[in-house]
Structure 1
């Protein structure tokens, strides 16, 4: 069990790392969208390539962050019912869902998308839109994203089994971490406090 828990922690670190930097994909898509709008207004020029790279980045952001979202237990759940069930039933639902639903789904998606992505890469298929981009980079997001999601599912399964065996914490309880909005508010408060403290120190 200790070896499995070590594997689980490694998977958690991997998805935490990916999730931490996936936000830059959203930032990139936002910047490209803004630049595209400015260029179109000022120079009356645009390209389908600008539009496609935006949804390429968006596709990558939510696909590769799926494992991170599962790690943080932010996927949609029927908590209204589940939270009122006994802990053993909650764990049974979690384990059954991970084994019989998440794992087969990810394997089926990988079974179909890996050869298709390889085919796209070998053929160099381009977008049918004028000025469009090559297709394989966006298709690559599917096997990468579902691999990370599958690994995180197995990590969560290991945590559930460890808890049942009395060798780990309860994995059904979300970590008490501040949300993104709360972290932003705290950062703004800290910045405001430092601004007000600076004149006082100068006097």
Structure 2
């Protein structure tokens, strides 16, 4: 189980290493947008939308990595004083009862919209914008799949802890 969890972790680790560069690129592009607007009086809708696209990709594709490195939001009401086995039980419950069903529901209910967006190659959000809303919508199933993969990896690790393995 631990070996499979490690292989699954590699997926989100690789994606996380790739998308983290979007943060830097996004800041640089936003700087260029502000510079062009306020210094040169030039504005570009596509350039503005590119920041939105990068921001969306950073958060949607980076969610699995955030779960991998355990930097996600956690409510520590029950976990604060729990033992390692108690924390593992709480995490197993969270993955099976909360995360898996919510990601599967989001994947199921968003798929028709994503499929339709690809069928018509849905265009820009605004006139003069980036003609790739279908790519933006594709981030939703990618988000779900990456979180499901990472959730499975975490679940396998926590089950190993409960079975007497290492944390």
TM-score, with normalisation over the residues of structure 2?
A: 0.91
Q: 2:10 aligns with which of 13, 24, 34?
A: 13
Q: 1:82 aligns with which of 79, 87, 100?
A: 79
- For 1:127 and 1:138, locate their aligned partners in 2 and report how far apart those are by CA, in whole Å: 10
1:123 and 2:95 equivalent? no
1:140 and 2:138 equivalent? yes
**Larger RCO (CA under 8 A, 6+ residues apart):** 2
1:25 and 2:22 equivalent? yes
Tell me the residue number matched to 2:152. 154
Query: How far does residue 22 in structure 1 lie from its aligned partner after superposition?
Result: 1.3
- For 1:6 and 1:87, locate their aligned partners in 2 and report how far apart those are by CA, in whole Å: 20
Query: How far does residue 127 in structure 1 lie from its aligned partner after superposition?
Result: 2.8
Q: 1:105 aligns with which of 102, 107, 111?
A: 102
Query: How far does residue 114 in structure 1 lie from its aligned partner after superposition?
Result: 2.6
- For 1:61 and 1:128, locate their aligned partners in 2 and report how far apart those are by CA, in whole Å: 19
Structure 2 unaligned segments of length 5 or more: list them: none
Aligned Cα RMSD in Å?
1.6
- For 2:52 and 2:79, locate their aligned partners in 1 and report how far apart those are by CA, in whole Å: 35
Q: How many residues align?
A: 166
Tell me the residue number matched to 2:51. 54
Aligned residue for 2:107, secondary structure, equals helix
